[in-house]
Chains A and B, each alone.
Chain A
Amino acid sequence: MYSMITFDHIHLAFDGRKILNDLSFEVKRGEKVVVLAKSGSGKSSLFSLILGFLEPDEGRVFFDGWLVDEKSVWEIRKKIAYIDQDISLGNGKIPDLLDFVLKLKTNIHLDGSRKQLQELLQYFELDKEIIKKDIEDLSGGERQRLAIIIAVLLQRDVFLLDEVTSALDKQLKKKVADFFIAREDWTCLVISHDPVWLENPAVKIFKLEEGKWKP
């Protein structure tokens, strides 16, 4: 199977503290991989390295065969849907946010996907009226679901999901996990402690400890 994300002997340190220590792994196309680690162990920096928000001190990261560097990263970002654990959607009205996202040059062809929005709202059990609200009036769970919906609307097939179900109830957590796991062509790298991910037999689990994989 084709390798979608490859970490090749990555070293990363912050303020002299080693975060990733000669880390190598790959995520193949269509795989669902969950990274399990304690907080502060550098798991979010895995995503930052793929998206070019951080540069490794040593080693290389590849995405879909491309070396992540200052040139390729702009194209790579267009192929990934990323949801951050704090989901920083900013303030303002939800329609303005959707407008902003869907009118970015790279997404402009997706304008038709607004129809899909209604289906997604329904699937993730959000009221239709919610999109008239201000972002700051949303609960944590509503924000998480909105971020997931935006990520899905982008019609990308690689998902970086950082604790995206933490604020949801058990039934919704499962619904979200099942939604991503069911799509065979989607590659998902997930950071989560949630059993809904970890107990799913289709998911591969990587355990990160002291900057290395633990069996």
Chain B
Amino acid sequence: METVDLSLVSLLLTFLLLALPVILSLKFGFGLIRSLFYSVARMTIQLILIGIFLKYLFLWNNAWINLLWLLVMITVAVFSAVRSSAIKIGKVFIPGFLSFTIATFVVIFYLNIVVIPLDNIFDARYLIVLGGMLLGNSLRGNIVGISTFYKNIRKDAKKYLYVLSLGASQSEALLPYLRESVQLALKPTLAAMATMGIVALPGMMTGVILGGASPEVAIKYQIMIMIAIVVSTITSVVLTILLTLRVCFNRYGVLRREVFVELKNKSNGS
């Protein structure tokens, strides 16, 4: 079974569907038209570029280039995750990069070497595609995880110091925040898993089926990827938080205000 290719005309016809949200927005004054077209344009351009890029990546299928591209993807993911946390990127780029790399590489090479297993474990079709799925999802988790962790500690600054004053070790004082942020980071993934197949057919499965594979193969890959996503998300969230602690707290266990973008004053200045 071959996938039916979409001609340029068919693709343009897809855009015609957008008339519906445009009409709705005009009628009810959602004010969404600008951002709708901006996002659609960005998505289209980005995908066209990545399509061309992937074509060559698959064509060359060079292990080094594939690995390098995966590292580029990780770098972008780290920047996006850190930006949401209001931490200065220069301070936590290295710990963030290490966490994402460890979490992604461990899971991906476990899949490529042990689970699938591939003759060429650096094969672009697996390395890049699986890497993208894992990173996209752990990025979402990390955005929630890191920002919740640091936001809550900053919000609770007095309570956190109170706990330290009680004689708590730093891990005792931080554990409640770590728990809460990891739970929150995992929530969407766990919820999506619990309804998978019933409420929605996941993107990867749809893609594999449209690509000509049987639903049985699609389901097996989907199960594999969902487990990989949960593992890489939780690993990268926990690692990112743990590895950034050394940078974001001083050796007295106090949050370094200068690490954050907008807070520069010393704490407890009363």
> Which residue from B156, B159, B166, B268 sits with its C-beta under 8 Å from A77?
B166
**A73 in the interface (beta carbon within 8 A):** yes
**B29 in the interface (beta carbon within 8 A):** no
Q: Mark B198-209, 1 if CB is under 8 A from A, else 0.
A: 000000000000
> Which residue from B165, B168, B251, B267 sits with its C-beta under 8 Å from A80?
B165
A53/B268 contact (C-beta < 8 A), A70-B251, A73-B252, A77-B165 known: yes
**B90 in the interface (beta carbon within 8 A):** no
Contact B270 A45 (CB under 8 A): yes
**B63 in the interface (beta carbon within 8 A):** no
Please list the 6 inter-chain residue pairs (A to B) with the smallest Cβ-Cβ separation, ordered nearest first. A88-B158, A78-B167, A70-B251, A106-B167, A52-B252, A88-B159
The distance from the CB of B212 to the nearest CB of chain A, in whole angstroms, is: 54
The distance from the CB of A153 to the nearest CB of chain B, in whole angstroms, is: 11
Which chain A residues have a beta carbon within 8 Å of chain B's beta carbons?
14-15, 19, 39-40, 42-45, 48, 51-55, 70, 73-74, 77-80, 82, 84, 86, 88-90, 100-101, 104-107, 154
Query: Which residues of the partner chain A approach B252 to less than 8 Å between Cβ atoms?
Result: 52-53, 55, 70, 73
- Identify which of residues 138-182 in chain B touch chain A, using a CB-to-CB cut-off of 8 Å: 156, 158-159, 161-162, 164-169, 172, 176
Q: Mark B258-270, 1 if CB is under 8 A from A, else 0.
A: 0000000111111
A84/B162 contact (C-beta < 8 A), A14-B266, A52-B252, A90-B156 known: yes
The distance from the CB of B139 to the nearest CB of chain A, in whole angstroms, is: 30
A104/B168 contact (C-beta < 8 A), A53-B161, A53-B254, A73-B252 known: yes
Contact A40 B156 (CB under 8 A): no
What is the total number of residues of chain B having a CB less than 8 Å from a CB of chain A?
24
Contact B167 A39 (CB under 8 A): no
A-B contact count (CB 8 A): 81
Contact B159 A90 (CB under 8 A): yes
> Which of B159, B266, B267 gathers the greatest number of chain A CB atoms within 10 Å?
B266
Q: Secondary structure of the B side of the interface?
A: loop
Kindly report which residue of chain A lies nearest to residue B254, judged by CB atoms: A53
Contact B172 A89 (CB under 8 A): no
Q: List 27 A-B contacts (CB under 8 A).
A: A14-B266, A14-B269, A15-B265, A44-B268, A45-B270, A51-B161, A52-B252, A54-B266, A54-B267, A70-B250, A70-B251, A70-B252, A73-B253, A74-B169, A74-B253, A82-B165, A88-B156, A89-B159, A90-B159, A100-B176, A101-B166, A104-B166, A104-B172, A105-B168, A105-B172, A107-B167, A154-B166
A123 to B270, CA, bound (A): 32
